[in-house]
């Protein structure tokens, strides 16, 4: 049974966007998600691609900083359809 996940959400010839990072609560703090993110980042870097990460909660930013990521900006887009 998987206890953590991380995936490349989008990829171009120049960059990858990592997201969908999550860990089952009982297994948090054991390094599983960090290992997955690091593995994806190393693979992208080995292919000369820029690595970007989708972080939707400020509370998780410190986790990504420990993995070597730095905050470079903010982005949000909210689209609503009228009924």
| pTM tops 0.95, yes or no | no
CATH no. for residue 41?
3.40.630.30
pLDDT band at residue 6 using 50, 70 and 90 as cut-offs: very high
C-alpha–C-alpha distance, residues 60 and 21, integer Å: 10
Give the total number of structural domains in the chain. 1
**Domain membership flag for residue 74:** no
Choose between 31 and 79: higher pLDDT: 31
Distance of CA 73 to the CA centre of its chain: 15
Domain assignment present for 81 = no
Domain assignment present for 42: yes
Phi first, then psi: what are they for 18, rounded to 5°?
A: -95, 140
User: CA–CA distance from 60 to each of 7, 18, 46 (Å)?
Assistant: 17, 14, 26
**8 lies in which domain range?**
4-66
Residue 12 lies inside a defined structural domain of this protein: yes
Under a CB-based contact definition with an 8 Å cutoff, are residues 54 and 41 in contact? no
Model confidence pLDDT, tens digit, residues 42-62: 999 999 999 999 888 888 999
- pLDDT tens-digit series, residues 7-47: 999 999 999 999 999 999 999 999 999 999 999 999 999 99
């Amino acid at each position: 049974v998987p206890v953590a996940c991380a995936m490349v959400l989008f990829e171009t010839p120049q960059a990858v966007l990592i997201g969908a990072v999550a860990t089952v609560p009982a297994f948090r703090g054991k390094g599983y998600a960090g290992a997955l993110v690091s593995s994806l980042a190393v693979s992208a870097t080995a292919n000369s691609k820029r690595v970007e990460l989708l972080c939707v909660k400020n509370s998780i930013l410190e986790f990504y900083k420990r993995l070597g990521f730095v905050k470079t900006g903010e982005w949000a887009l909210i689209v609503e359809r009228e009924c």
